[in-house]
Structure 1
Amino acid sequence: GAALETPPLDPPPPPIRIAANLPYNVGTELLVRWLTPKDWPPFWQSLTLMFQREVAERIVAQPGSKAYGRLAILAQWRADARIVLSLPPGAFTPPPKVSSAVVHLDALPEPRFPADAAILSRVVAAAFNQRRKMLRASLKGISPDIEAHLTAAGIPPTERAEQVSLEAFCTLAREVAKA
């Protein structure tokens, strides 16, 4: 069946390592589902997945880079992620129009920094939804006291999302949760 519509099978006993060349049009959605289960640690120990090169770069991106965003935070909050192989279009028959890369993710036993998953997801989504705006503007819908929360988290309210570290986003999520 379609991977996005088929419920996962009962997983075999651990350790489970998933290796897949996912269809590029659903690869990100499947990765997000595997990174956001209700309970952590997940049923899988590692993921080795092929993506379009630009998506792979977004998964492993660091703050300050153009590729840094929600996917990097989501992946790096709960896993160690790295690109292990890059492939040109000519490696496939027929060759696609894009380059590819294989990303390996090892699940962490617990998230890298404490934060409520739902609040972190909401904060990060709002921050990167308008990534060129200052955080005080892009996050104003999260809380009426967002500037105070940003300051308490050690983040200048004039900062832009792509400059904020994973740890700082987790700190901000904890501050918002207190309210």
Structure 2
Amino acid sequence: MPDLPPLREVIARYGLSASKALGQNFLFDSQLLDRIAAIPGDLQDKAVLEIGPGPGGLTRALLKAGARVTAIEMDDRCLPALAELSDAFPGKLSVIHGDAMKLDHGEIMGEPFAVVANLPYNVGTALFTGWLGGEDWPPLWTSLTLMFQQEVAQRIVAKPGGSAYGRLAVLAQWRSSAQLAMKVHRSAFTPPPKVMSAIIHVEPGQMPGGVSAKTLEKVTAAAFGQRRKMLRQSLKSVPGALSAMEQLGLDETRRAETLSIDEFVSIARILS
């Protein structure tokens, strides 16, 4: 292993500070970062995509775990620190300066890959739903290990019946397994965010037959977009949804949070 200077020293040398506009919060605890890098399992010679590496704290842990890392970073202030890390691990780190929201990750990676990232808070959910969407399944990514605000993480793994259960839970669980892998205290970050964080781990599973992802997304968006209303009101905007509920013997006076993921999938299957 290369003898790397402490991350705090690297940040001081390049005059880096976390940008609130970019949703950045830096992690310095190397033991914590190693634990995060271990969540996806053995990464030896595995392709890993990291979004928003910042000065490279998690990147170090992934490289130490033997991964071949492609890191997308839009903050040009962090590029010299990442270049230093790339030099320390020849051929193991590729840094792309760009906006991860505008890039085709599958095209960039070109092979099955794991995603491991302390996602910038301001784009985390949008990136996550992008990875979960689309008709092509299974996806090229083999797992998602992602840091979110704890409230968002709880929404991703929520079960029916509670206030946290919503569109994110359905999208994350209808053809994948999602679990809360680790909670991270706000004090672990620099600067400390106002909220607690958590890491979720998602692995793709079997896609139910006869279902369009686009249709399911449309149904859940309508149902949870007016979650306080009965489904006979919230699903009126989706042609055929109420007759699908009737066909399935589902009570249209129920609210979205009471429907199981299988029930949403069944509605989407009829509409598909």
Tell me the SS of whatever aligns to 1:115: coil
Measured against aligned partners, the alpha-carbon deviations of 1:49-104 in whole angstroms (never above 9, x if no partner) come to 00000110010000001011111000001210000100111111221111000000
Runs in 1 of length 4+ with deviation above 4 angstroms?
Answer: none
Of 249, 267, 270, 1:154 maps to: 249
Between the aligned partners of 2:265 and 2:235, the Cα distance in structure 1 is: 14
Measured against aligned partners, the alpha-carbon deviations of 1:18-71 in whole angstroms (never above 9, x if no partner) come to 110010110111111111134111001111000000110010000001011111
Tell me the SS of whatever aligns to 1:132: coil
1:18 aligns to what? 115
Structure of larger gyration radius: 2
Instruction: Quote the RMSD (CA, aligned, Å).
Output: 1.5
Matches within 5 A, 1:157-172: 157-172=252-267
Q: Contact 2:134–2:214 (CA<8 Å) still a contact in 1?
A: no
Tell me the SS of whatever aligns to 2:254: coil
Measured against aligned partners, the alpha-carbon deviations of 1:83-133 in whole angstroms (never above 9, x if no partner) come to 01001111112211110000000111x325652111111111100110010
What's the offset of the Cα at 1:148? 2.8
Q: Contact 1:154–1:168 (CA<8 Å) still a contact in 2?
A: no
Of 197, 201, 222, 1:126 maps to: 222
Identity in percent: 49
Gaps (5+ residues) in structure 1? none
- Aligned AA (2:167): R
- Aligned AA (2:133): T
TM-score under structure 1 length normalisation: 0.91
2:188 aligns to what? 91
1:80 aligns to what? 177
Q: Contact 2:155–2:169 (CA<8 Å) still a contact in 1?
A: yes
1:31 aligns to what? 128
Tell me the SS of whatever aligns to 1:152: helix
Between the aligned partners of 1:48 and 1:137, the Cα distance in structure 2 is: 37
Gaps (5+ residues) in structure 2? 1-97
Change (3 A) 1:113 1:155: farther
Of 31, 45, 51, 2:142 maps to: 45
